[in-house]
A = this chain, B = another copy of it.
C-alpha cells in the first residue's frame, strides 16, 4: 500500500465541490489545497494548470448526463429531455457556463454526449448536416438560458455570502434598475403588473417555451431539403 497520496480524481472531485459551493472565483489553488489537506502546490504535480483543472472538472460533470435510447420515444421528446437535462446540469453547476465562455471545452464526457446527441437527431431523420445544425442550435439555446440563470445564481450567492452590506448594495442596485426601467413604457408596465407575468416569467417556463418553439421550427426543416450553399463570390 503506497502512502496516501493525491490522485487526479480526488483533486477533480474536490474542485467540483468547491466550484459548486463558491463559484469560479471562489476556487483558488490554496483553498483547494486546504480542502485536500496538502500544500497548494502539490496539485501542480497532477494537473498542469488551473485552467486545465477547470477543464477537467467541467468534463467530469458532463458524465452526469444520461443518454436516452434514440429509439425509445419520438425524437422530439428525447431531444427535449436531453435539452432539459443539459439545462439542469448547467443549473447545478453555474460555473460551467463561465468556464464555457472562457475556454474551449473538449474531453471524454462532452464528446460522448455530443456523439449521442447527433445520434438522436440522425435517428429522427435529419441528414448529418442538418443534425449538426439542429444539435448546435439546441445546445446553444440551452447555453444561453443557462448563462442567464448563472448570472442570477452568482448574484444570490454573493448575497448569502456577504453580510448585510451586500444585501443593501443589492437593494440599491435593484432600486436603480427599477428607476431606469420606469422610464421605458413596456418595461414599466411589466414592473407595475408583476402578478400577470409571474408564472410566465419563471425561468423554467421561459426555457420550455423557447425550447418547444425551437423544436417546432426544427421539425419543419425535417421535410424541407437543405438550401443550396450560395455561390462563392469572387
Contact = CB atoms under 8 A, between A and B. Distances in A.
Residue among A101, A108, A155, A197 with the highest chain B CB neighbour number at 10 A:
A101
Most buried by B among A136, A138, A205: A136
A200 B181 CA distance: 40
Contacts of A210: 133-134, 136-138, 140-141, 214
A180 B111 contact: yes
B129 A196 contact: yes
Contact of A200 (B129, B142, B144, B148): B129
Nearest to A211: B137
Interface in A119-173: 119, 122, 128-129, 132-134, 136-145, 147-148, 150-152, 154-155, 173
Contacts of A115: 184-187
A106 interface: yes
A226 B201 CA distance: 13
Contact of A151 (B102, B139, B176, B189): B102
Contacts of A103: 151, 154-155
A79 to B, nearest CB: 13
Contact of A213 (B105, B137, B142, B184): B137
A108 B181 CA distance: 8
B186 A122 contact: yes
Nearest to A138: B210
A107 B105 CA distance: 32
Nearest to A145: B140
Contacts of A185: 115
Given A213-B217, A217-B212, A145 B144 contact: yes
20 contacts: A98-B101, A100-B147, A101-B154, A102-B151, A106-B176, A106-B177, A107-B180, A111-B183, A112-B184, A114-B187, A115-B187, A128-B186, A128-B197, A133-B200, A140-B147, A141-B141, A143-B144, A213-B217, A213-B218, A217-B217
